[in-house]
Amino acid sequence: MKLKRYAYFLTASLLLSAPAFAQTAPAEPKPLLGFDAAAATAQYQLETKFDAQLKTDNLRDWMKRMASRPHHVGSPHGKDNADFMAGLFKSWGYETRIDVSYVLFPTPKLRLLEMVAPTPFKAGLTEKPLAEDATSGQTAEQLPTYNCFSKDGDVTAELVFVNYGVPRDYEELERRGIDVKGKIVIAKYGGSWRGIKPKVAAEKGAIGCLIYSDPKDDGYGQGDVYPKGAFKPETGAQRGSVLDMPTYPGDPLTPGYGSTKNAKRLDYKKAPTLTQIPVLPISYGDAQPLLAALAGPMAPDAWRGGLPIPYHLGPGPAKVHLKLEFNWKNEPVYNVIATMKGSLYPEQWVMRGNHHDAWVNGASDPLSGMVAELEEARAIGELYKTGWRPKRTLMFCAWDGEEPGLLGSTEWAETNAKQLQKNVVAYLNTDNSERGFLFAAGSHTLEKFFNQVGRDVIDPEKNMSINDRRRAFDLINGNPEAQKDARDRADLRIAALGAGSDYSPYIQHLGIPSMNVGFGGEGEGGEYHSIYDSFDHFTRFKDPNFAYCKVLAQTMGRASLRLVNADVLPFEFQNFSNTVAKYGTEVKLLTDNMRTETDKQAKLLAEKRYEAVADPTETLLPPKAREAVPYLNFAPLDNALLKLEQSANAYAQARKTNTSLSNDRKKELDQLLYQAEQQLLSAEGLPRRPWYRHQIYAPGFYTGYGVKTLPGIREAVEERKWAEADEQIKRTAAAVERFSAQVSRAAAVAAPAPAQ
Amino acid sequence: MKLKRYAYFLTASLLLSAPAFAQTAPAEPKPLLGFDAAAATAQYQLETKFDAQLKTDNLRDWMKRMASRPHHVGSPHGKDNADFMAGLFKSWGYETRIDVSYVLFPTPKLRLLEMVAPTPFKAGLTEKPLAEDATSGQTAEQLPTYNCFSKDGDVTAELVFVNYGVPRDYEELERRGIDVKGKIVIAKYGGSWRGIKPKVAAEKGAIGCLIYSDPKDDGYGQGDVYPKGAFKPETGAQRGSVLDMPTYPGDPLTPGYGSTKNAKRLDYKKAPTLTQIPVLPISYGDAQPLLAALAGPMAPDAWRGGLPIPYHLGPGPAKVHLKLEFNWKNEPVYNVIATMKGSLYPEQWVMRGNHHDAWVNGASDPLSGMVAELEEARAIGELYKTGWRPKRTLMFCAWDGEEPGLLGSTEWAETNAKQLQKNVVAYLNTDNSERGFLFAAGSHTLEKFFNQVGRDVIDPEKNMSINDRRRAFDLINGNPEAQKDARDRADLRIAALGAGSDYSPYIQHLGIPSMNVGFGGEGEGGEYHSIYDSFDHFTRFKDPNFAYCKVLAQTMGRASLRLVNADVLPFEFQNFSNTVAKYGTEVKLLTDNMRTETDKQAKLLAEKRYEAVADPTETLLPPKAREAVPYLNFAPLDNALLKLEQSANAYAQARKTNTSLSNDRKKELDQLLYQAEQQLLSAEGLPRRPWYRHQIYAPGFYTGYGVKTLPGIREAVEERKWAEADEQIKRTAAAVERFSAQVSRAAAVAAPAPAQ
């Protein structure tokens, strides 16, 4: 009941007190984690000044300038954008440098896709320039449509349609007696990160992989196509990396260390993160003749897309020839690093980043986030000119090479690993963003802190905070769990970080507390990674007035300013404890549900019910029998979770009862706080991918971008590796215990024992 | 645990004992409800002889003959088929007559559909004959594609896409600010019985209605189209009745009484069951240009179909002109009635029926069921020749005019109402049927009886009973509730009867215990009510070997033979009690869930959460506020259900303890048993549709074919008529109490009190 009233209160108070479309914080300052009352008042005043600086014209001008030509890795305009940004940062008073790494970046030399049977067809593989889109005709500078880090290949084989190409899709194919061994698969985009598709296809024995954008998911099934509407036209194809990032991101030739000029490099042919088979993305225009030429059983209902054809599975009679050759070159990537030194704790660094490279012109991805970061830096530079100084060091980073595989950010993180683990307080990331609702993910030790940020930022379309609007979204559009959280929980639940942008090396490899933030849900588009991701498209369909670009700057600027200014870093551990306990409940429930399902299936198999149901004119084999699910020993995790709760409570209590600490004590406390996340790393990393060391958050090995929480345990259970699951429970529990011990130390520093 | 073992036992015993593809009952007779052991043995011997008679060649020959030309109401071939069947019945020894009713049967005089803006387009409205389908070219005799009982009309208006055109679809349109008043709506087939679409559209103020077959639901989205595959080709359109059958079926001019030659008739222009607006079915080929010309908001995700276009809602700019004129003629319908008189209880009639009229050639619908019935009659005629005599009278009926609105069966039922309520023991219906799984629906007083029928019939594709195969289907493909039933319940749960075939007047108007049975799930097709429902199509895609046609005859023949032969009629009331109690739980849960949802929505509305979430560039109004759901007085129903359970148990106990009864007592008992269902009728009928008198089963007023159980209560709740709901609880409870009292009387007759 208390929590429910809180939710009402927030809404009601904002409705009464906030002026219509106010862009500033409410007059009455609310408590700020890490600030005492006087400091909070000063902080709010600073933030009001910060807000007043933000100009949408800058956002628009910079996006137009930086998106005016293609700016992928190795392109002249990419280097030019880096120099341009470095110049801006310098002009605003930042110590600025461009750090260069040298990374493998293959580009297409030859792309051929043709159907050789039953009727000849040659795929166009070319996105059509449009008169209505000013930059779409820059064909000489555009990278062709391709999947970066596909291997070279020249294969001819029958085609098989594999839905999204994730493991469970192959189980369906197997039940229909279809083996992809020696075949070329065609998968729809979606349902997983794209790199999973060729990875799983190769595991299953396929020799080539096509990925197409089905119009149901990404085309006329979503709305009018570009340029009439925002959505993917017939020739549009999604470029994108297929590097095996769930194994490790960054330069495939320098696993785990920086790709400096003279670093030792693997032979690219032996790099473990390149695909095992050639893979090419194609448009639905190119896919339709291939799919229409398939025979064999109909695809399951849920697999069928929006093309006006029956979706058959094959194999064949469609037979295709796929030939790919790439230029396997090393290219420099230019990371722009701009620093404003802290006045009190210069050795504590708050990092703010976004990437600047694109697949083509990249107005939305990445410039919508990049220009917000620039404007934050400019506005803070203006505050600096008025005499304000940050207590901690603030660093703005503009990463290169994100698109091919987080190359810039990962190599920089690996190059500077020790220093970063010593100094970095938090990493705040953004990427593409548009009109709509707040989406925030990150370390749950920052959840309460970030809730106070969102509480104080007003949505540009509605007379309410971005938090309240997001809460309304969850209440109306959320799944039952999200609805319940939105009703009952004081803080909005932030999501966990998987992969998909530059935070990955910081949180998952180095254990640096991180956040990733954006707005979305009201922009429209099928422009992603195509020539249509342009200034023209963005300003028609994504955020025409740059209002959400600006609110992103307000949000992230506030987050940065609070982190650099706080008396004590605003980490909080009760929300973290609550969240990890929830993950613990989830993995137990997952195990129990798998046990129930396995037993149910075993019974149906023993009774031959599948054979009873099967239509004798079709092939539908029973599912494969599966080993029963044993009971796992979750006790170590449960015990660790108990200690975590106790230490989190102790820290909260200590901070409540002791507000005055010496600066030295604060410094000691800060370091304990921001390095706590590093206790969640295990030295061994996750099974089969030691680069990923965080025991709470990781991208899924078979989902890619999608996060797996408690990844060691959860993936062992999902993959039915029971001994490994028991082992990972212990390892995760140990990490949680290390973390709790550090939080207890922090509690002791925050509230020293009374003098005897 | 006991029930689970029962399921195992059935499977195991059949696997061990039944020979492969055995067409005969197992050697060891199982107990038969209504038979003592000796009688059961004799009955099994009879059934074995019956099975031995069945010939698939007859099924094939008759279907080919009867489907050789179109045979709709009023067609020469329809009359010819009736005469042909009457001749067959006579030749097999049945007293046979053709009863004629005279019914309104409109056929198209003029059909015009054109788009007048933004670009002109004239719909073809013509199904294309195919060289691969021998009868598809009989264009001179085919009825054009139309919806029978549409009114005449000549309307021009902007078009609005309304999904399936059911009430909740209009709620979505209203939230998007779209009003269909004065517009023409275009709805997809599916999601409800077709007649609901123009009914709801007219209620909402639309002036015309188009219904098209979307290729996702009924076209290439399902598989290769005819003639390559079984599914609906581009020009295929679904004919069908739009008579407001949920108000009353049968001749619209003679509501509630027989349409004899000189019956008093309403003016057709005042007949309440004709549509209020003109309505026309069209193909997806004709629909595509209309839908592609719509603008306005995108249709909600779930509404979008399989055409390669963005599905917009309109209204307009597509503007269409729809002009329809019909020949409003009375036509004779020919019901063939063949009787074999009972030797012991000639006044107890077992009725077996199927319709014989079609929309065009109707191989599947209705002949797949009709030829099975004929073969049952022939085989039983052969048994008669060997000297066997049924104890009760057996009647075979072949109805005419089912397609336009159950015209033949309803008028015959209304004409003979009193006699039928006096004499008919049960009505056993079939209609179209194909390869696959048993689907049975009906009076739950026959559930246990019918389970014993299905137990003893072997599936032609699998070495198991049709019951066990259906159980396996439920275990694997059923929803969680069906899976649970299939695991835990000794008897397969039969479905409740809504509408859609000729059982409707018998059960819902007269209270005669009824069953409807068919096989399905493995046939394929988009031929329904089109020129492609042909012998060629049936024998390629539906049941090529007539194996399931034959198994339908085995099933229904057994059911008839057991009903006519039983010592005591095999009614059973515990399953009925269990089922009605389940319906009671459902309506309570429905009310509770509506209350929870209403409260939740009221809260969201009060908090203005919908406004908070709405995209200001689009229209999405909050849902309409709804009155809170009161607590209803379910006590009368609960008390009645308790009595029902007690009387059902008492009858079961009485039958168990007393096996020898005089023939007179049996006769008295029989009559109590088969007339028990009539106690479930209420004199007033359902609100706003007094023709429907059954308080347990009715077609939904807004679903059409779909059943509503406890319809008075359930629909009052769904339509939020709270006072009516309380009233209907009482009325339903009273019906259940009357029924229980009759069952108690039956118990008393079955087990007379011991002599004092």
Contacts of A616 in chain B (CB under 8 A): 461
B387 — contact with chain A (CB < 8 Å)? no
Answer yes or no: is pLDDT of A658 > 80. Answer: no
CB contacts of B307 in chain A (<8 Å) are 308
pLDDT, residue A15, reads 34
Q: How many CB pairs under 8 A join A and B?
A: 96
Instruction: Give the number of C-alpha atoms closer than 13 A to the C-alpha of residue B570, restricted to the C-beta side.
Output: 25
Give the residue, A423 or A11, on which the prediction is more confident: A423
Instruction: Tell me which of A713 and B755 has the higher pLDDT.
Output: A713
> Got the DSSP string for A597-621?
HHHHHHHHHHTTHHHHHS-TTS--P
Indicate yes or no: CB of A310 within 8 angstroms of CB of B609: no
Cα–Cα distance measured from residue A158 to residue A168, given in angstroms and rounded to the nearest whole number: 21
CA angle A82, A84, A85 (to 5 degrees): 65
- pLDDT tens across B451-461, in order? 999 999 999 99
Contact B461 A298 (CB under 8 A): no
Average pLDDT over residues A163-178: 97
Q: What is the arithmetic mean of pLDDT over A503-521?
A: 98
CA distance B404 to B401: 6
pLDDT at B659: 66
Contact B737, B643 (CB under 8 A): yes
Task: Quote the CA–CA distance of B312 and B55 in Å, as a whole number.
Answer: 53
Average pLDDT of span B292-301: 98
Kindly identify which residue of chain A lies nearest to residue B312, measuring between CA atoms: A223
pLDDT grade for A659, boundaries at 50, 70 and 90: low
In angstroms, the CA B367 to CA A638 distance is 66
Nearest CA among A560, A538, A171 for reference residue A363 = A538
Interface test with B, best of A609, A620, A621 (most B CBs within 10 A): A609
Q: Cα distance from A612 to chain B (closest Cα, Å)?
A: 6
Q: Looking at the complex, does the CB of residue A473 fall below 8 Å from at least one CB of chain B? A: yes
Is pLDDT above 60 for B599? yes
Angle, helices A635-657 vs A722-750, to 10°: value is 20
For residue B418, pLDDT beyond 50: yes
Give the separation between CA A731 and CA A682, rounded to whole angstroms: 8
**Residue A752 above 90 pLDDT?**
no
Task: Please indicate whether, in this complex, the C-beta atoms of A215 and B308 are within 8 angstroms of each other.
Answer: yes
pLDDT of residue A18: 36
Whether the predicted pLDDT of B497 surpasses 50: yes
Q: What is the spatial distance between Cα A239 and Cα A282, in angstroms, rounded to a whole number?
A: 9
Q: What is the pLDDT of residue A27?
A: 54
Phi, psi of B295 (to 5 degrees): -120, -150
pLDDT in tens, B420-437: 999 999 999 999 999 999
Phi-psi region of A751 (alpha: psi -120 to 50; beta: other; left: phi over 0): beta
- Cβ neighbours of A269 (radius 10 Å): 9
B contacts of A464 (beta carbons < 8 Å): 612
pLDDT the model gives residue B91: 98
pLDDT at A25: 47
Q: How far apart are CA A600 and CA B736, in angstroms?
A: 38
The reply to whether B511 touches chain A by the CB within 8 Å rule is no
Q: Output the average pLDDT for chain B.
A: 95
B617 and chain A in contact, CB less than 8 A: yes
A619 CA to centre of own chain: 40
Helical segments of A478-524, H only? 480-488, 503-504
Rounded CA separation B140/B123 (Å): 20
Whether the per-residue pLDDT at A26 is higher than 80: the answer is no
Give the pLDDT confidence of A553-591 residue by residue, as tens digits.
999 999 999 999 999 999 999 999 999 999 999 999 999
Determine the pLDDT at residue A672: 98
pLDDT (tens digit per residue) in A131-151:
999 999 999 999 999 999 999
Task: Using the predicted structure, report yes or no on whether residue B27 has a pLDDT greater than 60.
Answer: no
Does residue B18 have a pLDDT over 70? no
Residue B472: which of A462, A522, A609 has the nearest Cβ?
A609
pLDDT in tens, A40-73: 999 999 999 999 999 999 999 999 999 999 999 9
Residue A447 has pLDDT above 70, yes or no: yes
Among candidates B307, B476, B607 on the partner chain, residue whose Cβ is nearest the Cβ of A308: B307
Residue A465, pLDDT above cutoff 80: yes
Cβ pair A461:B616 closer than 8 A: yes
Instruction: pLDDT band for B533, please (50, 70, 90 cuts).
Output: very high
**In B, residues 439-468, which contact A (CB 8 Å cutoff)?**
461-462, 464, 468
Inter-chain touch A220–B611, beta carbons under 8 Å: no
Q: How do residues B689-730 score in pLDDT, each as one tens digit?
A: 999 999 999 999 988 778 999 999 999 999 999 999 999 999
For residue B559, the surrounding DSSP H or E stretch is: helix B547-565
Q: Is A11 on the interface with B (CB under 8 A)?
A: yes
Q: Specify the pLDDT at position B311.
A: 98
Quick one: average pLDDT of B5-33?
A: 47
Q: Which residues in chain B are contacts of A477 at CB distance < 8 A?
A: 613
Whether residues B306 and A306 touch (CB distance < 8 A) is answered with: yes
DSSP letter string over A362-420?
Answer: -IIIIIIHHHHHHHHHHHHHHHHHTT---SEEEEEEEES-HHHHSHHHHHHHHHTHHHH
B215 touches chain A (CB under 8 A): yes
Cα–Cα nearest to B250, from B76, B107, B101: B101
Judged by CB atoms closer than 8 Å, whether chains meet at B298 and A222 is answered as yes
pLDDT of B622-656, one tens digit each?
999 999 999 999 999 999 999 999 999 999 999 98
Q: Classify A658 as helix, strand or coil.
A: coil
The answer to whether the CB atoms of B609 and A225 lie below 8 A apart is no
Q: What is the pLDDT of residue B7?
A: 33
Subunit contact B611:A464, Cβ cutoff 8 A? no
pLDDT reading at B21 higher than 60: no
pLDDT tens for each residue of B141-182: 999 999 999 999 999 999 999 999 999 999 999 999 999 999
Q: Is B605 on the interface with A (CB under 8 A)?
A: no
pLDDT for B657 equals 78
Q: What is the pLDDT of residues A689-718, one digit of tens each?
A: 999 999 999 999 988 778 999 999 999 999
Predicted confidence (pLDDT) per residue in A494-510, tens digit: 999 998 899 999 999 99
- Which DSSP state fits B144? P
In this predicted structure, the answer to whether residue A326 has a pLDDT above a threshold of 50 is: yes
pLDDT value at position A754? 61
Q: Which of A304, A309, A469 sits opposite B612 (nearest CB)?
A: A469
Calpha distance A327→B224 (Å, rounded) = 43
Rounded (5°) CA angle A290-A291-A293: 70
Say if the Cβ atoms of B473 and A613 lie within 8 Å.
yes
Q: Does A607 touch chain B (CB under 8 A)?
A: yes
Sequence-distant (≥ 6) Cβ neighbours of residue B439 within 8 angstroms: B470, B495, B517, B518, B519, B520, B521
CB atoms within 10 A of CB B110: 11
Asked if A309 and B220 come within 8 Å (Cβ–Cβ), the reply is yes
Predicted local confidence at residue A687, as pLDDT = 97
Q: Rounded mean pLDDT of chain A? A: 95
Report how far residue B32's alpha carbon sits from residue B561's, in angstroms, rounded to the nearest whole number.
12
> What does the pLDDT read at residue B13?
35
pLDDT at A22: 41
